[in-house]
């Protein structure tokens, strides 16, 4: 089994000092930085663009896991690749051309991710499961940090983990939304091996290092499915 990766979501950081926030979580042992790109159409919020990703790339050597919550993401793959993203995750709901979008990510040599909203049937994943390095199952409807974890993701995590195990593949399964020291072990026990956490990390009153340690400690003891 893969070790569990922790990806702090910079959406919950102080946006006026993103580079400092990135450096702080990397120093505290974050495995990757999660960058939430929103276009005000696919989700009801606006956040970062390629310029922000390029600025982060210049500020840190850490992997940049870019979550594209934008319509027709195939239009923007080159821009985010040029900006220095390490991986790009696109939503199946955001394009009628999901293979084209995923192939564009692969062609740029980046890690390929596909994401599903909580209400999207898992059957939408089947046609593309063999084409991706990472499956992102949302545990909130995307658009904002600080929302409540939807436990129905756990059955979905189990199903996807089972499909990946049947294939003998190394595909990662990432969970995003409402992850903290209480929900993280549940998601990991259900099959997640990559955790996105925004407010639980940057909103912690005792600091990001303590928050990351709490998350790690919480998942160390969770029972991993085989
Ligand atoms: C939600 C984003 C998440 C968000 C998570 O639309 O995709 O990555 O930042 O934030 P928390 O951990 O606060 O739910
Ligand atoms: Zn995200």
CA dihedral for 206, 86, 5, 58, sign (positive or negative): negative
| pLDDT number for residue 1 | 57
Q: Looking at the CA of 139, name the nearest ligand.
A: 1
Q: Which atom of ligand 1 is nearest to the CA of 11?
A: 9
> Whose structure tokens read 């979550």?
67
Q: In whole angstroms, give the CA distance from residue 93 to residue 25.
A: 31
Percent of the chain scoring above 70 in pLDDT = 97
DSSP character at residue 46: B
Q: Which atom of ligand 1 is nearest to the CA of 138?
A: 7
What are the pLDDT digits (tens) for 3-18?
Answer: 999 999 999 999 999 9
What are the pLDDT digits (tens) for 47-73?
Answer: 999 999 999 999 999 999 999 999 999
Average pLDDT over residues 195-218: 98
CB 199 less than 6 A from any atom of ligand 1:
yes
Q: In whole angstroms, give the CA distance from residue 50 to residue 183.
A: 31
Q: Strand, coil or helix: what is 43?
A: coil
CB 67 less than 6 A from any atom of ligand 1:
yes
CB 191 less than 6 A from any atom of ligand 1:
no
| pLDDT number for residue 150 | 98
* Inter-CA distances, 117 with 122, 144, 172, 176, Å: 10, 13, 17, 10
* DSSP string of 118-165, one letter each residue: TTS-GGGTGGGGGG-SEEEEESS-SS-SSPPP-TTHHHHHHHHHHHHH
| pLDDT number for residue 224 | 55
Rounded to the nearest 10°, the torsion over CA 8, 45, 72, 17 is: -40
| pLDDT number for residue 221 | 73
Q: What is the pTM of this model?
A: 0.97
Count the residues in the chain.
226
| pLDDT number for residue 4 | 97
What are the pLDDT digits (tens) for 130-169?
Answer: 999 999 999 999 999 999 999 999 999 999 999 999 999 9
What's the chain's average pLDDT? 97
DSSP character at residue 63: -
**Residue 13, Cα to own-chain centre: how many angstroms?**
16
Q: Which H or E run contains 111?
A: strand 111-116
The first and second tokens of residue 92, run together, are 């199946």
Average pLDDT over residues 99-127: 98
Residue 93 phi, psi dihedral angles, 5° rounding: -80, -10
Name the residues annotated as catalytic.
36, 176
Statement: residue 223 has pLDDT above 90: no
Q: In whole angstroms, give the CA distance from residue 153 to residue 118.
A: 7
The first and second tokens of residue 71, run together, are 């319509």
Statement: residue 226 has pLDDT above 70: no
Statement: residue 19 has pLDDT above 60: yes
| pLDDT number for residue 222 | 77
Percent of the chain scoring above 90 in pLDDT = 96
Q: In whole angstroms, give the CA distance from residue 128 to residue 218.
A: 32
Write down the CATH superfamily of domain 5-223. Answer: Aldolase class I (3.20.20.70)
């Amino acid at each position: 089994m893969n070790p569990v990766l922790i990806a702090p979501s910079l959406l919950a950081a102080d946006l006026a000092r993103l580079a400092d926030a990135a450096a702080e979580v990397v120093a505290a042992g974050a495995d990757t930085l999660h960058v939430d790109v929103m276009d005000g159409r696919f989700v009801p919020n606006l956040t970062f663009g390629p310029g922000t990703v390029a600025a982060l790339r210049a500020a840190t050597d850490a992997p940049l896991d870019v979550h594209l919550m934008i319509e027709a993401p195939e239009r923007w793959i080159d821009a985010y690749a040029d900006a220095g993203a390490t991986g790009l995750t696109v939503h199946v709901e955001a394009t009628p051309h999901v293979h084209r979008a995923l192939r564009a990510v692969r062609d740029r040599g980046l890690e390929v991710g596909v994401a599903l909203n909580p209400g999207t049937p898992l059957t939408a994943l089947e046609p593309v499961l063999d084409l991706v390095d990472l499956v992102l199952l949302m545990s909130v409807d995307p658009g904002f940090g600080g929302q409540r974890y939807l436990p129905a993701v756990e059955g979905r995590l189990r199903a996807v983990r089972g499909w990946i195990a049947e294939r003998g593949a190394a595909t990662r399964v990432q969970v995003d939304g409402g992850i903290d020291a209480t929900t993280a072990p549940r998601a990991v026990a259900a099959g997640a091996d990559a955790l996105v956490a925004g407010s639980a990390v940057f909103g912690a009153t005792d600091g990001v290092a303590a928050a990351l340690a709490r998350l790690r400690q919480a998942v160390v003891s969770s029972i991993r499915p085989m």
